């Protein structure tokens, strides 16, 4: 369909590379936020903080800090969607894919399927935050005015 603005072309290599990059931003951001929180809270660092759902609870301060890291990572993931995906239409797809791979990673790490209600609710909230904020940021970029001439800039 030539002549259509931003016509979608199926490019599996691009999609696969975007998935890998979004997943890298997801785990890199999570590691960064956990490192920062652990540094100030003087906690020990381990992979359990990323993959073990048993650490997440409202009763302990460590559990609440880990939940804060998840929420902050949703914001980091939204920024990643802006720079990696760049399309508001695809933000939900890439967000759900990143969290689906996280569920699979937690399942493999713990050797059983995650059953904690707090973990599931936190992930649903983080999916919603990452997708909505990512869509908002991408829409803002998509809606920017496109300069048509080389002449003097005119604000409308």
**Cα distance between residue 52 and residue 31, in whole Å:** 14
Q: What is the pLDDT of residue 75?
A: 95
Q: What is the pLDDT of residue 93?
A: 93
| This model's pTM is above 0.85 | no
Q: What is the pLDDT of residue 30?
A: 93
> Going by C-beta distance under 8 Å and a sequence separation of 6 or more, which residues neighbour residue 43?
37, 62, 65
**Cα distance between residue 50 and residue 71, in whole Å:** 13
Q: What is the pLDDT of residue 45?
A: 75
Cβ count near 134 (within 10 Å): 29
Q: What is the pLDDT of residue 1?
A: 43
Mean pLDDT by 10 residues, the chain (156 residues): 56 90 94 89 76 81 87 95 90 94 92 89 95 93 75 63
Contact 134, 82 (CB under 8 A): yes
**Cα distance between residue 110 and residue 128, in whole Å:** 25
Contact 50, 31 (CB under 8 A): yes
- Residue whose tokens read 């048509």: 148
Phi and psi angles of residue 11, each rounded to the nearest 5 degrees, phi first: -135, 90
């Amino acid at each position: 369909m030539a002549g259509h603005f931003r016509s979608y072309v199926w490019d599996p290599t691009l999609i696969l590379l975007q998935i890998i990059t979004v997943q890298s931003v997801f785990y890199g951001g999570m590691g960064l936020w956990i490192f920062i929180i652990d540094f100030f809270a003087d906690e020990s660092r381990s992979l359990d903080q990323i993959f073990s759902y048993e650490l997440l609870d409202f009763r302990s301060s460590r559990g609440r800090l880990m939940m804060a890291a998840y929420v902050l990572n949703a914001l980091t993931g939204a920024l990643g969607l802006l720079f990696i995906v760049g399309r508001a239409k695809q933000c939900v797809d890439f967000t759900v894919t990143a969290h689906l791979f996280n569920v699979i990673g937690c399942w493999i790490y713990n050797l059983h399927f995650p059953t904690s209600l707090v973990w599931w609710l936190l992930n649903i909230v983080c999916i919603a935050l990452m997708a909505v904020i990512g869509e908002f940021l991408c829409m803002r970029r998509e809606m920017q005015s496109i300069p048509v001439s080389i002449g003097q800039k005119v604000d409308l």
